[in-house]
């Protein structure tokens, strides 16, 4: 048995982060990949927990040093996944969970095709997304409009994901997400089948 990867994507405001926080209370042996970003910190966010908030110059230096497993520009800011902690968590048989955009999904899936499971989370409609972003009250109207426009292009990538959650009801989505996290660790490609066959055949046969 080796480590596995669960990628969670979807528009900001779809409820991804709240679902992840609840899921973390109910899933064992996971590692959540904390990304670095050049985006400004929102109220209630904590540096080193939600993200590592860094300057653009530092981000560019990190790209040049090969610090990132993948990075992307999303909504005009840079976001990147650190390489070493992820490799370390995979080696330690953890379920590595990423909250990354569609570009990051593509890149991780290409690098780790056999151990990756992915889920796209969204709202039932674009107006519901807008309402949630407005209610959250963390971003200006300009930022919200930009995120809404980008959400539609992100949605066009749904078919590249293994699972889709339309987050209409929080508890239902949470239960479904926990189920997906559970099956992500049961993919046959994670197991050494030869080893299993060897151990399965006992001496009497």
Member of 20, 72, 115, 180 binding ligand 5GP (CB under 6 A): 72
Q: How far apart are CA 134 and CA 128, in angstroms?
A: 10
Site for ligand 5GP contains 163 (CB under 6 A):
no
Cβ neighbors of 37 (< 8 A, separation 6 or more) are: 51, 52, 53, 54, 77, 78, 79, 80
Of residues 9 and 122, the one with the C-beta less far from ligand 5GP: 9
Site for ligand 5GP contains 167 (CB under 6 A):
no
Q: What stretches of the chain show up as alpha helix (H) in DSSP?
A: 16-24, 56-64, 83-91, 102-111, 126-136, 141-155, 170-184, 193-200
Q: What burial class does residue 31 get, using C-beta atoms within 10 Å of its C-beta: 0-12 exposed, 13-18 middle, 19+ buried?
A: middle
Member of 32, 38, 62, 81 binding ligand 5GP (CB under 6 A): 81
Contact set for ligand 5GP, span 32-51 (CB under 6 A) = 35, 39
Retrieve residue 160's tokens: 């590249």
- Find the distance separating the first CA and the last CA of the chain, reported in whole Å: 25
Beta bridge partners of 108: none
Residue 66: φ, ψ to 5°: 75, 30
Residue nearest to ligand 5GP (CB): 104
Of residues 130 and 190, the one with the C-beta less far from ligand 5GP: 130
C-beta of 94: minimal distance to ligand 5GP in Å?
A: 17
C-beta of 165: minimal distance to ligand 5GP in Å?
A: 14
Site for ligand 5GP contains 150 (CB under 6 A):
no
Member of 59, 90, 104, 185 binding ligand 5GP (CB under 6 A): 104
Member of 103, 132, 157, 187 binding ligand 5GP (CB under 6 A): 103
Of residues 75 and 109, the one with the C-beta less far from ligand 5GP: 75
Site for ligand 5GP contains 74 (CB under 6 A):
yes
């Amino acid at each position: 048995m080796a480590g596995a990867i669960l990628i969670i994507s979807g528009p900001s405001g779809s409820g991804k982060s709240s679902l992840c926080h609840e899921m973390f209370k109910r899933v064992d042996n996971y590692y959540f990949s904390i990304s670095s970003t050049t985006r400004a910190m929102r109220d209630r966010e904590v540096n080193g927990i939600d993200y590592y908030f860094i300057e653009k110059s530092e981000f560019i230096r990190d790209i040049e040093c090969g610090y990132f497993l993948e990075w992307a520009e999303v909504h005009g800011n840079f976001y990147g996944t650190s390489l070493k902690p992820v490799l370390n968590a995979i080696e330690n048989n953890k379920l590595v969970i990423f909250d990354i955009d569609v570009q990051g999904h593509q890149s991780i899936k290409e690098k780790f095709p056999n151990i990756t499971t992915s889920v796209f989370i969204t709202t039932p409609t674009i107006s519901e997304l807008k309402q949630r972003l407005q209610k959250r009250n963390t971003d200006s109207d300009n930022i919200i409009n930009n995120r809404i426009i980008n959400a539609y292009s992100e949605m066009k990538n749904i078919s590249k994901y293994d699972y889709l959650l339309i987050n209409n009801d929080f508890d239902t989505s949470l239960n479904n997400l926990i189920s997906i996290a559970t099956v992500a660790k049961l993919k046959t490609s994670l197991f050494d089948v030869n080893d299993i066959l060897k151990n399965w055949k006992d001496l009497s046969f």
